[in-house]
A and B are shown apart, each in its own frame.
Chain A
Amino acid sequence: MSPAVTPGTLPGPPAEPTGRAAKTTEWPLWEVFVRSKAGLDHKHCGSLHAADPQMAIQLARDVYTRRQEGTSIWVVRSDQIVASDPGEKAAYFDPMADKVYRHPTFYDLPKSVDHM
């Protein structure tokens, strides 16, 4: 039996831009992840256009960390992200709605454990 998994759709190659207005759309889109302080996860905070990885990191620094939001930045080409299919949302996520026993609510966490 094949697993009931539908891989996310990878976008095809972008259409060739044409005309003057298309100039600014030639740069690929990048997703930006910022870690606010050591020990925490990188969190998705937005996206931007840049010509290459180096420019993407620099512009992410200028656009998303100008108020001291970050200590580390990741950027990922948006077209490299594989996403779950929104059409499969019900099959994917609804079955978990009635399984409260999967929540570890029977434990008391010590106060010193943060970010759980």
Chain B
Amino acid sequence: MQSSIEVSRQPAVRYLLRIGDTCLIQAQRLGEWCGHGPVLEEDIAMTNMALDLVGQARAVLTRAGALEAELGGTAHDEDQLAFLRDERDFLNLTIAELPRGDFAVTVLRNFALSTLLKLLWQRLLDSSDAELAAIAGKALKEARYHQQHAGDWVLRLGGGTDESQRRLRAAVDLLWPYLPEAFESDEVDDEAFASGLGPRWADIADAWHAEVAPVLDEAGVAPPAPRAFRSTGKKGVHSEHLGYILAEMQHLQRSHPGGVW
């Protein structure tokens, strides 16, 4: 059994892990639809998007692992970071790890997250970290498509049948309480903002609402009233669901260290 790695706790590394891990875990959830999509064409579309997100996660985790060494710690590669980290060291938004649910939950989460990621990548084009800016340039095009694809589905479900409207409403009620976490900044964000590494996530909240609200409105669903509940995935404290994802994702590398295709 391969033991876990010790990950740098430098704010800049944690800033990158939040992005890379959100992509990675969302990819894992989207990938679960492989072979189970409602129609063959949509099955391929969802797994395409999952692969885009895996590619983004690989690039960002690779950069995070190199940055660990630049900041005086031990360097790690993308595989070590993906497969040999403990749950507490994963910093994805909790919303990404929630079970994939029905198709409404999947497309609504994809819409919310791809909008968030698109806005992040747009601002990361100007990152003081040249490699992160280059990753953003490529990822931005992918995120734009994901947002368009998922947004169209939100409208279709909203304007479809009573059943699709009901499911979309249930998805909003389930997912929306997990979104405030994304837009609350802390010392990790402050330091990234000060160094020019990237924006404070709180600073993209208005842009996110401006893009999401009209779509929900047109789909005929309203977000639930704000609640005091806050998820804490970004800080490494997760829901009960992440452990199961990691068990599945990490099993092979933990049991057969260094195993390759």
* A residues in contact (CB < 8 Å) with B: 24, 27, 48-51, 54-55, 58-59, 61-63, 66
Interface size class of B (residues with CB under 8 A): 10 to 19
Type the 1/0 row for B14-58, where 1 means its CB is closer than 8 Å to any CB of A: 000000000000000000000000110110110010000000000
Q: Please state if A63 and B44 are interface contacts (CB–CB under 8 Å).
A: yes
Q: Please state if B156 and A58 are interface contacts (CB–CB under 8 Å).
A: no
Chain A nearest CB from B102 CB (Å) reads 15
9 other contacts beyond A59-B45, A62-B48, A66-B48, with CB at 8 A cut-off? Answer: A24-B39, A48-B41, A49-B39, A50-B41, A51-B156, A58-B45, A59-B42, A63-B45, A66-B44
Assess whether B148 is interfacial by the CB under 8 Å rule: yes
Assess whether B149 is interfacial by the CB under 8 Å rule: yes
Chain B nearest CB from A22 CB (Å) reads 13
Task: Tell me the B212-248 residues at the A interface (CB within 8 Å).
Answer: none
Assess whether B152 is interfacial by the CB under 8 Å rule: yes
Chain B nearest CB from A45 CB (Å) reads 14
A62 to B47, CA, bound (A): 10
A22 to B29, CA, bound (A): 28
Q: Please state if A63 and B41 are interface contacts (CB–CB under 8 Å).
A: yes
Please name all residues of chain B whose beta carbon is closer than 8 Å to the beta carbon of A59 when the two chains form the complex: 41-42, 44-45
Please name all residues of chain B whose beta carbon is closer than 8 Å to the beta carbon of A50 when the two chains form the complex: 41
Type the 1/0 row for B153-176, where 1 means its CB is closer than 8 Å to any CB of A: 000100000000000000000000
A62 to B145, CA, bound (A): 10
Q: List the 8 closest pairs (A to B, CB-CB), nearest first.
A: A62-B45, A59-B41, A48-B41, A62-B48, A62-B44, A63-B44, A63-B41, A58-B149
A64 to B41, CA, bound (A): 10
A27 to B156, CA, bound (A): 13
A48 to B42, CA, bound (A): 11
A59 to B38, CA, bound (A): 13
Please name all residues of chain B whose beta carbon is closer than 8 Å to the beta carbon of A66 when the two chains form the complex: 44, 48
Please name all residues of chain A whose beta carbon is closer than 8 Å to the beta carbon of B44 when the two chains form the complex: 59, 62-63, 66
